[in-house]
Structure 1
Amino acid sequence: MSPPPPPLGRPRRRAARSLDEALDDVELAAVRASLAQGRWQAARSLLVHTGDDWDRRCHRVTVLARERYTAAWARDWLLAEPDSGDAAVLLGLAVTHQALRGKAKRARARDACRAAIARMPADPTPWLGLLLLERADGTPEATERIFHEIRARYADHHHAHHLMVAHLAARRAEAGPDPLHEVYDFADWAAQQAPADSPLAILPVVAHAERYRALALAGHEPADPVGSGHWAGGRARQVMKAAFDWWLEWEHEGHPRRLVDLNFLAHAKVCEGRGAEAAALFHRIGEHLTAAPWSYPDRDPHTAFRAARATALGTA
């Protein structure tokens, strides 16, 4: 049975300090508000319009799937349109996020994702649900197998590569810093395999931040990333310069997750002490902060972001 919708009228106002995972996708934010009222037809239209723009589709489905009532409304959609692959994909991701919050069984979430895969075999999005589940409680072998299933459908899948970097960065963190750690090799490989204009060029920066998070949580790095020295080595400076140069030449204003990359890059420039370069990135980010990496290792992302931005803009 579907939950009762909130009262009709104005869309729900999100808490002032909440992170809006829709980022700058205004159309997505409007559909999310409609879905909260049970108007799943807006989600149907959005996903039809998105088509096979896989990064955008994954971003939109993921944001909608995280909402509290999405699984119930997706089931209503499936009842009305039993053959809808989009409804099955949305349900699979919604139940996945319920399972990750402890509100549904993992087996049920896996079944929902597999049902979506059966209906939409070319779509990498339901495989992302399986990747999230395997990262949480699966084996490294299964995680890598699912990642390769995603790459087989879309080799430059942005979200999947970020998840794999975070997954690999946590390996052997208890052993301490390792300049030859596999996460760096993976990030370099993915960046080199991608086309020249691919935002996966930023992945080595993401790997450096994720490795810091893992090492800090294991007690091998201080809790203040700026004072950690993690971004001070020659290899780190080379990675940061290459990524910043890529941004200057290739920035994709239309990529749905570019603000995720810009937050990682701004964070890296702040930690590197490059205030003027960080300031340029903060101007592009505006108010669209992301939890990662400003929350690393266990900080309030709003406080960290605003302090870093104020310092960088003052420097500039």
Structure 2
Amino acid sequence: MPPPPPPLGRGRRRAAQVFDEALDDTELVAARTALTQGRWQSARSLLARTGDEWDRRGHRVTVLAAEPYCAAWTREWLLAEPESADASVLLAVALVRRALGGRQTPQAAREACRSAAERAPADPTPWLGLLILARERGPERDVVRLFEEVRVRYADHHHAHHLMVAWLAERRVDAGPDPLHEVYDFAAWAAEQAPADSPLAILPVIAHAERYRALAAAGLAAADPVTSGHWTGRRARLVMKAAFDWWLEWEQDDHPRRLIDLNFLAHAKVCEGRSAEAAALFHRIGDHVTPQPWSYPGRDARTAFRAARASALGTA
């Protein structure tokens, strides 16, 4: 039996909490634990049950692929089931993770992703793997092309859109806080194209957050978001209000990826001084902080998150 998820609420011992990419997906946590022990059958069953829920599949595959021995155990799976599309996809993304860590050649990872795409032509996940790799190691033309390959298979792919926003936010950093920067246009376009209940509605907020991250990293914005001025513009305020209203409508959805989006929005509320709204969001998030919060470049993630949360909740 997998261990129970950590309890939510303000009373638990936060010192023992560590960010987990799996978020609230207990099935994923159990499969990942089994995979670390060489029992790939749990990953096999998990991906079979996930089916064509492409957002959830992408999340589960990328989390499983991050395990250090995922590639080795997935090769064992392929020896047992040479025609398994799920095993091929998981191995491909595991090799992408290894390539980004310098433990695998990018070319081998690309070839594995293309092979997986041939076995599962409708699955956007192998193309997501290629996009993750191109975002760090590929030419610009490949990033755009691979994003389109993902969208052809699933137009509202959550992870792929987030990657594109982060990538675009890092372009033309020397332009400074340009309100007409391409990342804002892309995010607005994607949100308009998405269905009314899609998590892509939050992308305009993510665009402001990612652009701030890029500017702060380049020394063109204050490292402290409260004093940076990035969130004080009229456009930024309207974007955040629209996103917050949308979240109130969608708050019953239980997709684990939403916790990352809420983290972006909660920190934005802190920067705006809207402590009551921030407190409501922090209550829902619990300790699910992003690994590298956009609003605190160069500072310890856990310490910064707790400080903002304590300030919003009035428990400092």
TM-score by length of 2: 0.93
| Paired residues for 1:165-176 under 5 Å | 165-176=165-176
Over 3 Å counting, the alpha-carbon distance change for 1:207 and 1:194 in structure 2 is same
Aligned length: 305
Partners of 2:202 and 2:295 lie apart in 1 by 19
The 2-side partners of 1:47 and 1:105 are apart by 26
The amino acid across from 1:80 in the alignment is A
Give the partner amino acid of 1:100. Answer: L
Distance 1:252 1:90 in 2: 30
- 1:171-250, aligned counterparts within 5 Å? 171-250=171-250
Q: CA deviation at 1:315?
A: 7.9
Cα deviation, 1:13-54, whole Å, max 9, x if unaligned, reads xx9564200001111111111100000000000000011000
For residues 1-316 of structure 1, what are the structure 2 equivalents within 5 Å? 16=16, 18-294=18-294, 296-314=296-314
Distance 1:183 1:159 in 2: 16
Name the amino acid aligned to 1:307: A
CA separation of 1:252/1:121 partners in 2, compared to 1, >3 Å: closer, same or farther?
A: farther
C-alpha distance in structure 1 between counterparts of 2:280 and 2:296, whole Å: 22
RMSD: 1.8
Question: Which whole-Å deviations, capped at 9, do the CAs of 1:154-187 have from their partners, x for residues lacking one?
Answer: 1110000000000000001023221100000000
Check whether the contact 2:224–2:295 (CA below 8 A) recurs between aligned residues: no
Task: Give the partner amino acid of 1:148.
Answer: E
When structure 1 is superposed on structure 2, of 116-125 and 17-26 the one drifting more is 17-26
Secondary structure, counterpart of 1:133 in structure 2 = helix
Whether the aligned pair in 2 keeps the contact of 1:294 and 1:305 (CA below 8 Å) is no
How many angstroms does 1:219 deviate by?
A: 1.2
Q: Is the 8 A contact 2:260 2:290 kept in 1?
A: yes
Is 1:40–1:73's contact at 8 Å kept on the other side of the alignment? yes
User: Post-superposition shift, 1:225?
Assistant: 1.3
- Bigger shift: residues 129-138 or 88-97: 129-138
Question: Structure 1, residues 182-210: CA drift from partner, whole Å, max 9, x if none?
Answer: 00000000000001111101001100010
Paired position in structure 2 for 1:5: none
Q: d(CA) in 1 for partners of 2:55 and 2:75?
A: 24
Shifted more, 290-299 versus 37-46: the winner is 290-299
- Asked if structure 2 preserves the Cα contact closer than 8 Å seen for 1:208 and 1:236, the reply is yes
Q: Indicate how the Cα distance of structure 1 residues 155 and 114 shifts in structure 2: closer, same or farther if over 3 A, else same.
A: same
Task: Kindly indicate whether the alpha-carbon contact (under 8 Å) linking 1:17 and 1:302 is maintained by their aligned counterparts in 2.
Answer: no
Q: Which moved more, 1:31-40 or 1:220-229?
A: 220-229
- Residue 250 of structure 1 deviates from its aligned partner by 1.8
Distance 2:256 2:17 in 1: 22
| SS class of match (2:299) | coil
In 2, Cα distance between equivalents of 1:29 and 1:10: 7
The alpha-carbon deviation at position 301 of structure 1 amounts to 1.1
Number of the residue aligned with 2:12: none
1:4 aligned partner: none
Q: Which amino acid aligns with 1:300?
A: D
Quote the Cα distance in structure 2 between the aligned partners of 1:151 and 1:272.
Answer: 34
Distance 2:157 2:296 in 1: 24
- Check conservation: 1:270, 1:278, Cα contact below 8 A: yes
Amino acid paired to 1:263: N
> How far apart are residue 292 of structure 1 and its match?
4.2
Could you tell me how far apart the structure 1 residues matched to 2:258 and 2:95 are? 26
Structure 2, unpaired ranges of 5+: 4-14
**For 2:226, what is the secondary structure of its paired residue?**
coil
Residue 284 of structure 1 and its aligned partner are, at CA, apart by: 0.8
- CA distance in 2 between partners of 1:131 and 1:10 (Å): 32
TM-score if structure 1 supplies the norm length? 0.93
